[in-house]
Amino acid sequence: MSSFSRREFMRRSSLGAAGLGLLLNGRWVPLEATPLPPPASPNDRVNVGFIGFGIRGNILLEAVKQTGQANLVAVSDCYQGHLTRAKERTEGKIETNLAQYKALLERKDIDAVLLAPPDHWHLQMVVDALSAGKDVYIEKPMTYRIEDGPKMIEAAQGNNRVVQVGSQGRSSALQKKAREIVASGELGKVTKIVASYNRNSSTGAWNYPIPPDLKNDVNFNWQEWLGSAPKHAFDPERVFRYRKYWDYSGGISTDLFVHLITSIHFIMDAKMPSRVVAAGGILNRKDGREVPDTLDALFEYPEEFNVNMGSTFNNASTPEQGMMFLGTKGSLTLLGNSFSVAAENPREGYSYSIDSWPKSLQEEFLNMDNHREEANPPIRLEGTVTYKDQGADATLLHMLEFLDCVRSRKECSENAEVGHRAAAAGHMVNLSYLSGKRMVWDAASGTARGA
């Protein structure tokens, strides 16, 4: 089996009993696609610039093109190859600058900027862009450290600018429907969520290819790339595989968990965990990385639910990316672009606990109140319902919302406060992993302390 079909097979198998229910008596419900606006006329479009044009920057540019709501004005990056690619994607139209993002921010013909640099640049670029009067789409994780968040929130408010943070999943029709179902009470009280993000490939573990033409001071600017990060000799590995190093990234927690955390906050209408504890390590990929290749975290929320979140880069046979919301009346399992809802069928185990009583007493007890019915509830025949998202891609919807907010001056759904809290929860995971302590969130001061 190819790795893809094997992954698909395992993904389907991992549906387990829910998958079987689907085959037996399940129902598919296609979700209604969010309607897309018609393309705007060139004068009504938002003029955008891009800073950081690597893997994600390219995806953002394609999403912006699809919206039909923006003019692509300029791009800045530290690597000439990425600028050449920007030209290719825009029929040579976009203007490029090598390692001078401030010059891009000075342009009066740019309304909004899309920022996708490594995490250690997020604070500086967001504050610079907001201070220059630009609206900002900043990739997740919004922050590199917890204390960056309030500075970014203040800069957004002080400059009266729009901010959208890029954990796009929450803009999908799927997650909006999941939120609706949780709020409706259909699942009863959700007290536990299990979420995972697993991989088993070298590129999945962030060993991204390094372009063979890369030459510092010729087609790349290492000093600009480093910015305020600790001094280090030029190292292409650090540039293209930066997620492996604490100086530029928070690893699994801030790269991957932050997506799950953002979705959980959205679907559960929750703000911030009160306590977080984590464990993990570099258990297999001993390739010079500093961040763990396996990480597990437990989050406690004041809204009375727990989250059990895990990731490994050494086995992908559990769902690559999935979340299960476990309620007293039902479970919602979200995998890929669909989720299934399966009803609980709780029964009371009286026979086990009254078997030591005299027979007549057992009968008397079962005839009391609803005991016999509670022990033998009717089987729910409705089975599993699976909702399938066939609408637009989440990044496109998230971008459309941003561009709409730029024009209407409305607040984006994933504004700086929302982005700060999701990233802060991710940072608490790392603080716990590194200190061996349980981290407690102090809402009054907006800080985390070890306990």
Ligand X SMILES: NC(=O)c1ccc[n+]([C@@H]2O[C@H](COP(=O)([O-])OP(=O)(O)OC[C@H]3O[C@@H](n4cnc5c(N)ncnc54)[C@H](O)[C@@H]3O)[C@@H](O)[C@H]2O)c1
Q: Which stretch binds ligand X (CB under 6 A): 30-38, 76-84, 154-162, 170-178?
A: 76-84
Q: Which of these segments, 8-16, 40-48, 111-119, 329-337, binds ligand X (CB under 6 A)? A: 111-119
Instruction: Select 52 or 292, whichever has its Cβ closest to ligand X.
Output: 52
User: Is 292 a binder of ligand X (CB under 6 A)?
Assistant: no
Task: Answer yes or no whether residue 168 interacts with ligand X by CB under 6 A.
Answer: yes
Q: Of residues 385-414, which lie at the interface with ligand X (CB under 6 A)?
A: none
79 binds ligand X (CB under 6 A): yes
Q: Looking at beta carbons, which residue is closest to ligand X?
A: 54
Among residues 111, 128, 135, 139, which is the contact residue for ligand X, using CB under 6 A? 139
Q: How far is the CB of 213 from ligand X (least distance, A)?
A: 14
How would DSSP label each residue in 77-111? ESBHHHHHHHHHHTTT-SEEEES-HHHHHH-TT--
Phi then psi dihedrals of residue 206, to 5 deg: 75, 15
DSSP 3-state of 211: coil
Q: Pairing mode, if any, of strands 27-30 and 330-335? A: unpaired
Identify residues 306-345 at the interface with ligand X (CB under 6 A): none
Applying the rule CB under 6 A, the residues between 246 and 285 that interact with ligand X are 255
Mark residues 90-109: x for contact with ligand X by CB under 6 A, - for none: ---------x-x--------
Alpha carbons within 13 angstroms on the beta-carbon side of residue 203 total 4
- Is the CB of 253 or the CB of 386 nearer to ligand X? 253
Candidate residues 15, 46, 48, 53; the one interacting with ligand X per rule CB under 6 A: 53
> Nearest distance from residue 76's CB to ligand X, in Å?
5
Measured distance CA(451)–CA(449) in Å, rounded: 6
Q: Whole-angstrom Cα distance, residue 276 to residue 107?
A: 43
Strands 330-335 and 321-327: antiparallel
The total number of residues written for the chain in this structure: 451
Q: Which residue has the tokens 């999403």?
A: 63
Q: Please state, in angstroms and rounded to a whole number, the distance separating the CA atoms of residues 363 and 372.
A: 9
Render 141-207 in DSSP notation, one character per residue: SS-SSTTHHHHHHHHHHHTT--EEEE-GGGGSHHHHHHHHHHHHTTT--EEEEEEEE---STTTTT-
Q: How many CB atoms lie within 10 A of CB 360?
A: 8
| Token pair belonging to 261 | 């955390």
Site for ligand X in 220-249 (CB under 6 A): 224-225, 227
Residue range at the interface with ligand X (CB under 6 A); choices 47-55, 105-113, 338-346, 408-416:
47-55
Which of 118, 250, 330, 419 lies at the binding interface for ligand X (CB under 6 A)? 118
> Interacting stretch for ligand X, rule CB under 6 A, among 18-26, 114-122, 360-368, 375-383?
114-122
* Residues contacting ligand X: total by CB under 6 A: 27
Residue 121 in contact with ligand X, rule: CB under 6 A: yes
Binding interface with ligand X (CB under 6 A): 51-57, 76-79, 82, 99, 101, 116-119, 121, 139-140, 166, 168, 224-225, 227, 255
